[in-house]
Amino acid sequence: MAVDPLIELRDVNKYFGDLHVLQDVNLTVGRGEVVVVIGPSGSGKSTLCRAINRLEPIQSGSITLDGQPLPEEGKALAGLRSEVGMVFQSFNLFAHRTVLQNITLGQVKVRKRKKDEADRRSRELLDRVGLADQADKFPAQLSGGQQQRVAIARALAMDPKALLFDEPTSALDPEMINEVLEVMQQLAQEGMTMVVVTHEMGFARSAANRVVFMADGRIVEDRTPEEFFTSPRSDRAKDFLSKILKH
């Protein structure tokens, strides 16, 4: 597929000590594309996400965002983190700040918005994720699904070029998974560029442009969901799918 590349990884290698966790990884994510990353535990999915917003440095190869190499430190790095938002399994909200403050803070500090303007934008985003009436609560007063939607609103408040999700629904009770997936589905439809590590195969089938299957630090398959789910090529993918689709 001809795409306008937003995120590009070329021959990326990453080690933890002797452990080679990303092995010659090549991946292009086009603007507006949704790429779902799946694979067995320890295959490098989180490390891949963390490398894209430079929470993890790499040892060789290159990663570019919008044609620019990732900045290494300082202000430029903080800028990158706001341009490539990340949503984690564990929400990571500031516990001693209200929901509204959680979403406003980065806008004021990093994006240099005035507080009332930032608050207005925060309320807009809360409305969008279905939490308009929760602005003054603290994170602990919300359900997991609500907290995760706040985390998504907080990432969106920075007007990111792309969003990375690392198992955003894995810590949630089953009845809360859908409310988060629906917000993500909506973002996908609106054209947000997204890299999503998830075991939610329904989401992969309905929202992803491509499925990337990783095993042992390598990208083993990179195909449309339709192709991947109906005729996986590699034994690793076949084996993985037979295990997860049994549940």
The side-by-side arrangement of strands in the sheet containing 60-65 is: 19-30, 5-16, 60-65, 68-69
Smallest CA-to-CA distance from 12 within 1, 23, 21 is with: 23
Q: How far apart are CA 162 and CA 133, in angstroms?
A: 27
Residues that bind Mg ion (CB under 5 A): 46
| 46 counts as binding ligand ATP under rule CB under 6 A | yes
Side chain identity at residue 195, one-letter code: V
Q: Find out whether 47 and 56 touch, Cβ atoms under 8 Å.
A: yes
Task: Kindly state the tokens that stand for 97.
Answer: 């700040």
Binding piece for ligand ATP, criterion CB under 6 A, among 44-52, 119-127, 130-138, 219-227? 44-52
Partner touching 41 among ligand ATP, Mg ion, none, CB below 5 to 8 Å by kind: ligand ATP
Binding piece for ligand ATP, criterion CB under 6 A, among 1-9, 34-42, 105-113, 152-160? 34-42
| 169 counts as binding ligand ATP under rule CB under 6 A | no
| C-alpha dihedral sign at 70, 8, 35, 189 | positive
Interacting residue with ligand ATP among 28, 47, 122, 146 (CB under 6 A): 47
Strand partners, 62: 10
| 45 counts as binding ligand ATP under rule CB under 6 A | yes
Q: What's CA 16's distance to the chain center, in Å?
A: 22
Q: How far apart are CA 144 and CA 10, in angstroms?
A: 36
Partner touching 168 among ligand ATP, Mg ion, none, CB below 5 to 8 Å by kind: none
Binding piece for ligand ATP, criterion CB under 6 A, among 42-50, 72-80, 138-146, 230-238? 42-50
| 21 counts as binding ligand ATP under rule CB under 6 A | yes
Interacting residue with ligand ATP among 44, 160, 168, 225 (CB under 6 A): 44
CB of 122 to ligand ATP, least distance (A): 30
Q: What's CA 234's distance to the chain center, in Å?
A: 25
Interacting residue with ligand ATP among 1, 2, 18, 41 (CB under 6 A): 41
Q: Which residues bind ligand ATP (CB under 6 A)?
A: 16, 19, 21, 39, 41-47
